[in-house]
Structure 1
Amino acid sequence: MNNLILMLTGLFLFAQQAPLSERLHSGDEAPLFNTTEVRGEKLKLRKLLKEQDRVLLVFMRHAWCPVCNLRSHELMERYEELKAANYEVVVVYESPQEQLIRYVEDHELPFKVVADPSGELYRSYKVERNPEKLKAAMQDEKTLAHIEKGKKSYKKDFRSYMAKGEKPDALIPADFVLDHKGNILQAYYGKTLDDHLPLEELIGAQK
């Protein structure tokens, strides 16, 4: 675990925080995109929104990020509940296609997964890169416990999902709930590496 912490915190000294830009908010129009899901299916967000009552759009870090793996398992375990509450789930990762498809297949993720190593979608949704939050997270006992738990949840060593030359960065996860008209119902920007919109809020609200 110490090696992982050093990997994550080591970049802090060199990371440059992106210029602050206005976040997206509830009521804003969601930036639409067309892409290809990692398993080869064409994914058009406008079309998906017309077919679904709600879309939960999740922006993760890399597939080899243990706290993201923990969140992925939570989404996987509660996917049927989310579907029953009329949500489709789309998760975006920073990882390249080659590494991400192995992670998806190894863990049998049931939701839609998108590789965005260029960061185009992250920029569209104003997802934050914040070295200060990264540094604080690496000193937080709760986050460190989640890192350890996330590592144990991998089917293989987490480093097997790293691309050559890939390094950790200061990206902070974000979640968005979109309605069938393409509007943002909720925009949730994480306060730390393992902070996400509570799924119970979504599932419970539809019961």
Structure 2
Amino acid sequence: MNAITNTSPITARRLRPGDPIEHRTLTTIGGDRIALPDPSGLTHLQFRRFAGCPICNVHLASIARRHDEIRAAGIREVVVFHSPAEHMRPHQGRLPFAAIADPDKVLYAAFGVGSAARAVLHPSAWSAPLRPRTWAVVAKGVRAGGLPTPRGQSVLGLPADFLIGQEGTVRAVRYGRHAADHWSVDEILSEAAAAPSRR
């Protein structure tokens, strides 16, 4: 079953601050249904790569550690992977925020999130998996039954971050230039603090 319900055709163009998004209902890998946008506040919607991606999982661990701080700032965290839900559950099943499986890349297309060889060619991307703490995070998912590599999926996906207002307008956006190019928690909080001026 597709975990994404949308109300109009998708588009491949990149979004900019001020652009509206279509209202959608998303189903998490745990079976919960959530609304996008969140009618109660801001949403940080981030697009990652494949479920076992070491860069992605270390980044998500940093967000999980500060999730209470993110929630206190009025931000709902939502992460999307282009992996099936069964591949995601061992790696992302214990996250304290919503994780969405989008193997058909419906949301990726709608938000203009693509792929490129530069995703893994930048020094920040290919050096990140060499760090000891990276493999500790990935090994945890593998021990839970997850795949370490992207079976049938590309390693060339690029990340993207969107801050979306409760009315459905993009408040801020970052399209990653490589696999490790994403907002830190401090940047998420900074974008959210500036968001009211962009209404």
Q: TM-score, normalised by structure 1?
A: 0.77
Q: 2:28 aligns with which of 26, 30, 37?
A: 37
Q: How does 1:76-155 map to 2 (within 5 A)?
A: 76-105=64-93, 108-131=94-117, 133-137=118-122, 140=123, 142-149=124-131, 150-154=134-138, 155=140
Q: 1:23 aligns with which of 11, 14, 18?
A: 14
- Give me the whole-angstrom Cα distance separating, in 2, the residues matched to 1:24 and 1:203: 20
For 1:110, give the aligned amino acid. P
1:114 shift after superposition: 0.4
Give the SS at the match of 2:130: helix
- Give me the whole-angstrom Cα distance separating, in 1, the residues matched to 2:69 and 2:193: 10
- Give me the whole-angstrom Cα distance separating, in 1, the residues matched to 2:150 and 2:162: 30
Once the two structures are superposed, residues 100-156 of structure 1 have per-residue CA deviations (whole angstroms, 9 ceiling, x without a partner) of 122223xx210111000010000000002112x13522xx1x333321332222314
Q: Which runs of 5+ in 1 are unaligned?
A: 1-20
Give the length in aligned residue pairs.
178
- Give me the whole-angstrom Cα distance separating, in 1, the residues matched to 2:90 and 2:109: 25
**Percentage identity across aligned positions?**
26
Partner in structure 2 of residue 176 of structure 1: 162
- Give me the whole-angstrom Cα distance separating, in 2, the residues matched to 1:130 and 1:112: 26
Partner in structure 2 of residue 5 of structure 1: none
Q: TM-score, normalised by structure 2?
A: 0.80
Q: Which runs of 5+ in 2 are unaligned?
A: 1-11, 195-199
The two structures, once aligned, show a CA RMSD in angstroms of 2.3
Q: 1:51 aligns with which of 22, 32, 40?
A: 40
Judging by fraction of residues, say which structure has more helix: 1
